[in-house]
Amino acid sequence: MTKPIILNAAELPEWTRAELNTHFSVLELPKQPDDAAAFLREHGRTIRGIALRKTKIDTAFLDLVPELEVISSYSAGLDNVDVAAVKARGIKIENTSHILAEDVANTALLLALAVTRDLVEADRFVRAGAWTEKAAFPLGRSLSKMKVGIVGFGTIGSAVARRLQALGSTVSYFGPNRKPVDLPYFDDVTRLAADSDMLILACPLSDATHHLVDARVIDALGPQGYIVNIARGPVIDEQALVAAFAADKLAGAALDVFEHEPSVPEAFIQDRRLVLAPHIGSGTEETRRGMAEHVVDALARHFGIAGPRPNA
């Protein structure tokens, strides 16, 4: 039986690539854009599936793969994919949001606690020998006593909410649609910010959410407010955030993602009120393996191939 031809347009672990080669005829997309376009013009009509990570999928790309049936993305976010164009052509999209949700939610909680309890500075305080009988570390804020607004209430946002509720936080949320949950819903992010002590960003990046958190939202959150971002960097207007800290309009922020990562504004690096992480939301061995496995499994299911994890 002829194996389905798929395109590997992702940097994946070697064992994942080996699994793909076991079940499919795999074409490797060249990394240089000009080479990739030429490659697709030659081979694109044979491609029925794509293993995806960061490669941009737009209408020009889709025009070169007219027999494409399914895209299996390693990431949760699909901001590199023209989703409307893909769906209009009847192409199935699979991503890994349900796999990475728990660890990303754990990271959100980690960052929320770190910024409200000033954990990074507390570590430095001890290491510097500043902890003495006469020198106590400054008091932090209680996340359990806070009103926390979650921006985006999909798989990840709801996982964040469960953790916050277990701590005793008062949780509400913003999104394009009300969800079947017993939590206050806001259809305007500025009003959510005005009603919250902290905003946790867990929404996908799209035209609608690009710079969603701008100067107006930051002002509504207020000088005692906090922001945690485990979504995508451009959801926040970084220049507005820099300006807000310069004017003491926020108490703190904890950011796992940045607008132009891996570049981080020098103002963030120098400001002790920010906790910074290098996009590690899903960064555990277990979750990253599960994400890679799902890339293979989703393609195998689509083509009716018995894979190594039939119950995955």
Map residue 298 onto helix, strand or coil: helix
Whole-angstrom distance, CA of residue 301 vs CA of residue 9: 19
Catalytic residue among 17, 232, 294, 302: 232
Active-site option among 191, 211, 261, 289? 261
Ordered alpha helix ranges (H), 24-151: 33-43, 59-63, 83-88, 97-116, 119-127
Angle among Cα 307, 288, 79 to the nearest 5 degrees reads 100
Catalytic annotation on 23?
no
Neighbours of 128 (CB within 10 A): 8
Give me the catalytic one of 43, 117, 211, 279.
Answer: 279
CA distances from 133 to 117, 224, 305 (A): 20, 29, 66
Going across the sheet that includes 170-174, the strands are 185-186, 170-174, 147-151, 198-201, 226-229, 252-255, 274-276
What DSSP state is assigned to residue 215? H
Q: Known catalytic residue: 279?
A: yes
- Give me the amino acid identity at 58: D
8 Å CB contact between 65 and 29: no
Identify residue 304 by its one-letter amino acid code: G
Active-site residues, by number, are 232, 261, 279
